[in-house]
A and B are shown apart, each in its own frame.
Chain A
Amino acid sequence: DGGITQSPKYLFRKEGQNVTLSCEQNLNHDAMYWYRQDPGQGLRLIYYSQIVNDFQKGDIAEGYSVSREKKESFPLTVTSAQKNPTAFYLCASSDSTGLNIQYFGAGTRLSVL
């Protein structure tokens, strides 16, 4: 089954804890993205990466960190500095042909215990 795989589907975080959301793609896409989806606020860009070993902050990067060590993987860590982490997180990828069409994962719902 090809595409974007996010895991876990549900995640719970305790106060002061860092948690990592996984995103893997087998589409051979260069670019990958992390969005946060909150009711009434649409999708807000957290981080994006155009190529391996490089990434840029999006609009709401504070309290989050990412890495891009492999083309297929773009994990997102929600750190304890993120005071309001409860949200639905979406990962996406796109190719670099110029079409810039985004392909999305099924998402991870993060809640605070």
Chain B
Amino acid sequence: AQRVTQPEKLLSVFKGAPVELKCNYSYSGSPELFWYVQYSRQRLQLLLRHISRESIKGFTADLNKGETSFHLKKPFAQEEDSAMYYCALSGGYQKVTFGTGTKLQVIP
């Protein structure tokens, strides 16, 4: 079975402070991990994926297989980062499992 855990329902940070959204997963094989974001009144969309090892809008995420984690980080939060963030795991047969989501609130 594949599982994704996002322990925080809400994360509030001040503008300019570092951000870390936690994601832990459970999967017996080699997973693909993703972060999706949903801004207010917009569709859910891909933010980044571990395979590409890219930085999008200043966010990065490193897959730590030893700790089975894929935390999302940004050194300096901006007000426009306020949104709902979902961690997702893709296992075999294209089945995708999402976490429960973390609402990020950036305080001006």
Residues of A within 8 A of B (CB): 31, 33, 35, 40-45, 48, 50, 56, 58-59, 90, 92, 94, 96, 99-107
Contacts and interface: CB of A to CB of B under 8 A. Distances in A.
B97 A45 contact: yes
Contacts, number: 56
Contact of A100 (B6, B45, B96, B101): B96
B53 interface: no
Give the interface residue-count category, chain B.
20 to 34
Interface of B: 6, 9, 32, 34, 36, 43-46, 49, 51, 86, 88, 90, 93-101
Contacts of B98: 35, 42-45
**Interface SS of chain A: helix, strand, loop or mixed?**
strand
B9 A40 contact: yes
A101 B43 contact: no
Contact of A43 (B51, B86, B90, B93): B86
A42 B96 contact: no
Contacts of A43: 44, 86, 98, 101
A100 B94 contact: yes
Given A42-B101, A102-B36, A50 B44 contact: no
Given A31-B94, A58-B95, A101 B34 contact: yes
Given A56-B93, A100-B32, A100-B94, A40 B44 contact: no
Contacts of B100: 40-42
Contacts of A58: 95
A44 to B, nearest CB: 8
Contacts of B101: 42-43
